[in-house]
Amino acid sequence: MMFTCSSCSSFVPPKLSVCPACRAEVVHSTGARVVAGVLTLAGGSVFAMTLTACYGAINEPYYPDSGTTGDAPSSCTAATDTDADGYCGAEDCDDTNASIHVGATETIGDGVDSDCGGGDGTDL
């Protein structure tokens, strides 16, 4: 956000105390600086929301330590992963069958949604 010089009505960046056009001393009040900071944050938030609305949100978290996406590898325990395939929660749409989980190979026409994509091969 730019401020206006009271002498010449030129724009003055918030970090300058002298107008670049007329060299008049400019005093930015604390309130004006706070408002400028809030507006800068709000503008960044609006920009981020616009990008999300246009391009969509990231739908899978990335875990740099493991190089994988989806649920964190360490999040599954014997109590939460009953079929012991290493997939839990939303990543495992059938926790009674170890061959059914996100990323599994889908066999079209077998009547089983093996990759949790919402259908038997229709999601390919």
pLDDT band at 58 (very low <50, low <70, confident <90, very high): low
Helices (H) and strands (E) in the chain — how many of each?
1, 4
* Residue 22 pLDDT: 93
- 66 and 110 together in one domain: yes
Same domain (yes/no): 74, 34: no
Phi-psi region of 118 (alpha: psi -120 to 50; beta: other; left: phi over 0): left
Please give the average per-residue pLDDT across 61-66, as a whole number: 52
- Domain residues for the domain of 46 are 3-55
Q: What is the model's pLDDT at position 84?
A: 85
CA dihedral 59, 60, 62, 67 (to 10 degrees): -140
20 and 37 co-located in one domain: yes
What pLDDT does 108 receive?
Answer: 85
**Do residues 33 and 62 share a domain?**
no
Q: How far apart are CA 22 and CA 20, in angstroms?
A: 6
Instruction: Round the average pLDDT of the chain to a whole number and report it.
Output: 78
Question: What is the pTM for the complete model shown?
Answer: 0.38
The reply to whether 50 and 70 lie within a common domain is: no
With a pLDDT cut of 90, the percent of the chain lying above it is 2
Inform me whether the pLDDT recorded for 64 exceeds 70: no
Which run of H or of E encompasses 31? helix 30-55
Number of domains in the chain: 2
Residue 121: inside a domain, yes or no? no
Residue 105 gets which letter from DSSP? P
